[in-house]
Structure 1
Amino acid sequence: MKTSKGWRISIGDMQILPGSRHRAPMRKPMWIIVLVLFVCVFLICAYIYPPHSSTACFFSSRGCKGISAWLPPVPARQYTDAEIASRAVIRDILSSPPIVSKNPKLAFMFLSPGDLPFERLWDKFFQGHEGKFSVYVHASKTKPVHASRYFVDRDIRSDQVVWGKISMVDAERRLLANALQDPDNMHFVLLSDSCVPLYNFDYIYNYLMYSNISFVDCFKDPGPHGNGRYSDHMLPEVEVKDFRKGAQWFSMKRQHAIIVMADNLYYSKFRDYCQPGLDGRNCIADEHYLPTFFQMVDPGGIANWSVTHVDWSERKWHPKSYREHDVTYELLRNITSIDVSVHVTSDEKREVQSWPCLWNGVQKPCYLFARKFTPETLNKLLHLFSNYSTP
């Protein structure tokens, strides 16, 4: 009996004592997961589409200190010995006080294959201003026969020039080197054989001589005719973020002309790796070297537009040419009334970039010269010159 009772107690105890536990599966905290996902989506949207208020600064690094301010700075690239030397020379030239001349002159540098068909027009332009200008002619194919006394004996030693190749830049530098030998030349203008003046001498002289910047065309083109021409072989000295495009027809101060002549490092990169057909790209050195160079060494010292007008509206490899029937008083006045510089990118977006032409902070007409005029337009231009060239 006792034994039987003890067994019943044992059985009862076994029913009361917990055996091995079988817990129900834990419920997943779905509300926490949903909350985290919602916060992540909110932060991403706030960063990409920040609200236009001061509270946006917490989420966006655009326009105020945000997430990027918390991150460690990107380590600066270590410059090569050649870069250190080049930057030191350029910095000292730019920081030196400008040379002051008692007789400051404009240097007119003509880049031509041979004869200059508009010498008679330029002769009329120069008359009465002797001692305030210098003329230099680089004729790459045939020795020109001059029709104006201002051009006689002004030919420099020239070499062959091939369109699209570095020889075009070499010719520009050759002209600058010769013009720099005259210490009175304070401003240097590159012109082609098809260029004509749009104003009288005094207006152009004052416009250029008293400007606080150089007029070098420079804009960023992400398309195939811009950054599409860039080569990684230019690294590390020339990065794609600095690669720029622009017309070759510049007008620059003496200090800028000197640093162009002092440069060999960046020039050599374009000489070696900016060529038509290189690596499947059609890189045109004269459209990229100077814009990129100044973007890197003195971006605030250039106007980002050229004072020489050209019409690219036909969207061909070469600009529109003006023939005799095109040349009218209205055409010339229309060109001289333009006071906004416009560039169009070569990608699918065809983005229009425009900015006012500011001369010492004041908006003025952009263009002092124009090209491409054919030789047959000479007589018409001579007839119209005194009318259209007065500001």
Structure 2
Amino acid sequence: MKSSPAWRLGIKDMQIMPGSRQRGPLRKPTWIIVLVSLVSLFLVFAYVYPPQNSAACYVFSSRGCKGMPRWLPPSPVRELTDEEIAARVVITDILNMPSAIPTTPKIAFLFLTPGALPFEKLWDKFFQGHEGRFSVYVHASKDKPLHFSRYFINREIRSSSVVWGKISMVDAERRLLGHALKDPGNQHFVLLSDSCIPLRDFDFVYNYLMYTNVSFVDCFEDPGPHGSGRYSENMLPEVEKQDFRKGAQWFTMKRQHAVIVMADNLYYSKFRDYCRPGMEKGRNCYSDEHYLPTFFYMLDPVGIANWSVTHVDWSEGKWHPKSYRALDVTYDLMRNITSISDSVHVTSEEKKQVQITPCLWNGNPRPCYLFARKFLPETLDNLIQLFPNYTSI
């Protein structure tokens, strides 16, 4: 045993030591008490105020900050309100309900536009020969469009005024979904703007959307002023800041997801009342960028792809994305857009974080985009000329 040498040494020493002698009074180990107290205080402080930088985190865990939750006690589970329980029961029941898929399911194309549709001729070429596999719905918030394509004639729904950044934008989206859901043949729903164009031929788009296992709803966490900085505590208890998400409004979604969006009033009302421009001390919140990402993140996070299949170029770093002019529209531009296979999100912090994730279709890498915006009306002729080539890339 390791302790035996020490024991024998003690016996030997006792044999050569003189007879018994009086022990002096023990000194109090004051420095040990002080050290233990300081360490205890340090640990208590670290528990109450967990370190945020990686170097400090590794003092407590070899896994860094990600390992902290393993030894911190779990947060208490909040008791849901009656309204939340009722909403979640309905939503869960809808999501678990088996779908009655028709023999020929259709994609509903939902156009949200202030008036004319400058790319109607291009969409006409896209739809030709695929009758019975799609439906068209147009929400024109200002002027009734003059149509050139038979696929768009008499496809307007009851519209209402839409103001950019306000809840009326979400209202228009829900109105389009509501009208499209009346047709049981519509099984997937695509929201498009007046500046959107198709990037692929119809068959590619149809198969990509109809046989996916998710809805393509854009969703990411932005801790900056234009993300979580827009959150209002008035949304509590139903919407917590840790669940607040951001994303582009241009979605595609499966029928069950469209139904739960229409069924929701609880979470919608929180964004209607507490997410609007100039709401608190000059802060702006835009419901069309936050309502659906937050809603799906809370209620069905694995059911969405977390990116939109509608491409837009934010590389200029302005309030609005890049607008494509006629000179921009070339075969190379279209080839570059259709070959993108990673989804990119940039946070709004001063030190912007770039989040890059591969686009996966049913678990397999695929090109990200089926549509693109913002194309100016002057690009129409170039797009029609290039259409048969770039859509088959």
Per the TM alignment, residue 131 of structure 1 is displaced from its structure 2 partner at its CA by 0.4
Residue 346 (structure 2) pairs with residue 337 (structure 1): no
CA distance 1:217–1:62, shift in 2 (3 Å): closer
Secondary structure (helix, strand or coil) at the match of 2:246 reads: coil
> In angstroms, what is the RMSD of aligned CA positions?
2.4
Contact kept? 1:321, 1:372, Cα under 8 Å: yes
Q: How far does residue 67 in structure 1 lie from its aligned partner after superposition?
A: 2.5
2:381 is matched with 379
Superposition pairs of residues 175-214 of structure 1, within 5 angstroms: 175-214=176-215
Given residue 274 of structure 1, which amino acid in structure 2 is its aligned partner?
A: C
Unmatched 5+ stretches in structure 1: 1-22
Deviations for 1:172-223, whole angstroms, at most 9, x for unmatched residues? Answer: 0000000000000000000000000000000000000000000000000011
Decide whether aligned partners of structure 1 residues 84 and 363 sit closer, same or farther in structure 2, where only a CA change above 3 A counts. Answer: same
1:64–1:179 distance in 2 versus 1, CA, 3 Å = same
Pick from 274, 299, 302 the counterpart of residue 300 of structure 1: 302
Per-residue deviation, 1:42 = 9.5
Q: Which residue of structure 1 aligns with residue 288 of structure 2?
A: 286
1:328 alignment partner AA: T
**Equivalent residue number for residue 277 of structure 1:** 278
Cα deviation for residue 66 of structure 1 reads 4.5
CA distance in 2, matches of 1:224, 1:42: 32
Name the SS of the counterpart of 2:385 in structure 1.
helix
1:158 aligns with 2:159: yes
Q: Given the alignment, which residue of 16, 41, 49 partners 2:58? A: 49
TM-score (norm 2): 0.87
Look up the match of 1:80: 81
Pick the structure with greater CA Rg. 1
Determine helix, strand or coil for the equivalent of 1:343.
strand
Change (3 A) 1:339 1:66: closer
Question: Is the contact between residue 61 and residue 67 of structure 1 (CA under 8 Å) also seen in structure 2?
Answer: no
- Three-state SS of the structure 2 residue aligned to 1:158 is coil
The answer to whether structure 1 residue 148 and structure 2 residue 149 are counterparts is: yes
Corresponding position of 2:6: none
Q: Are the counterparts in 1 of residues 57 and 65 from structure 2 also a CA contact under 8 Å?
A: no
1:249 aligns with 2:258: no
The two structures have a TM-score, normalised by structure 1, of: 0.87
State the AA in 2 paired with 1:163.
W
Structure 2 counterpart SS, 1:341: strand
Query: What is the letter of the counterpart of residue 67 of structure 1?
Result: W
| Deviation digits for residues 349-387 of structure 1 (CA, Å, limit 9, x no counterpart) | 200111100000001000000000000000000000000
Deviation at 1:249, TM superposition (A): 0.2
Aligned residues: 361
Any conservation in 1 of the 2:213–2:362 contact (CA below 8 Å)?
Answer: yes
Alpha-carbon distance between aligned partners in 2 of 1:240 and 1:209, rounded to the nearest angstrom: 34
- Answer whether contact 2:57 2:68 (CA < 8 A) is retained: no
Alignment partner of 2:360 out of 358, 365, 368? 358
Q: Provide Cα deviations, 1:16-54, integer angstroms capped at 9, x if missing partner.
A: xxxxxxx999665324534665698799799820698xx
Structure 2: 5+ residue runs without aligned partners? Answer: 1-23
Answering whether residue 71 of structure 2 is matched by residue 67 of structure 1, we say: yes
The amino acid that maps onto 1:98 is S
Superposed CA offset, 1:43-87 (max 9, x none):
9799820698xxx58xx884598532xx4x433212111111000
